A and B are shown apart, each in its own frame.
Chain A
Amino acid sequence: GAVVSQHPSWVICKSGTSVKIECRSLDFQATTMFWYRQFPKQSLMLMATSNEGSKATYEQGVEKDKFLINHASLTLSTLTVTSAHPEDSSFYICSATAGLETQYFGPGTRLLVL
């Protein structure tokens, strides 16, 4: 099956700093990438949808100025959590699709903001 990677797998940062998470589709070109957040024992919550070369579409309640998404190529999307605070601590998962296929998920990035 298709492989999606994420980097880093975990990160600890101080409150107020910015953190960048990368999502790469390794063996296919992803026309669309998605960013999810998952709190413990909770469902995956879609944050935003991004298409290569265009602005991301954010879900209601997600601050686009806080969660910056860049989809620079068909194989790479980045999520930057700006001025992170403890309440941003979560498991961030990206997924990618080639258009008419189901989503393939990355392994996730665990963020802990102190």
Chain B
Amino acid sequence: QKEVEQDPGPLSVPEGAIVSLNCTYSNSAFQYFMWYRQYSRKGPELLMYTYSSGNKEDGRFTAQVDKSSKYISLFIRDSQPSDSATYLCAMSPSRGYLNRDDKIIFGKGTRLHILP
């Protein structure tokens, strides 16, 4: 079983719809969870950053972590064509890089298309 599983998509939804993106993981040591957005031929851009379980909201984006189920989600409300990109989940045992093993593990990314 891979450490982080993410459905590659593509996921196509109409403009204005609510988008749900998800990842599952197997390592119970993960404490920090991130979502990155990557446009084609560009580097990833950090969208959301959460610690442990719970919800975090930032504008149209909501990140949700369920550590008991080892499941994280990113919700996008009122989706827009500019949201079309690849979304990567990422996670790490710690916030810093004090230990060599505390590297960030990325999912493969889900390609999202918002249809105008």
**Which A residues have a C-beta under 8 Å from some C-beta of B?**
1, 4, 6, 32, 41-44, 46, 49, 57, 91, 93, 95, 97, 99-108, 110
**Which B residues have a C-beta under 8 Å from some C-beta of A?**
4, 8, 32, 34, 36, 41-46, 49, 88, 95-97, 100, 103-104, 106-109
Interchain CA distance A103-B45 in the complex, whole Å: 9
Q: Which residues from B are CB-within-8-Å of A99?
A: 96-97
Structural contact, B43 and A100, CB atoms closer than 8 A: no
Structural contact, B42 and A49, CB atoms closer than 8 A: no
**A-B CB proximity, top 6 nearest:** A105-B43, A43-B108, A100-B96, A108-B43, A44-B106, A107-B43
* 14 further contact pairs, Cβ within 8 A, besides A57-B100, A102-B32, A105-B36: A6-B43, A32-B97, A43-B88, A43-B109, A46-B104, A93-B43, A97-B97, A100-B95, A101-B95, A102-B34, A102-B49, A104-B46, A108-B41, A108-B43
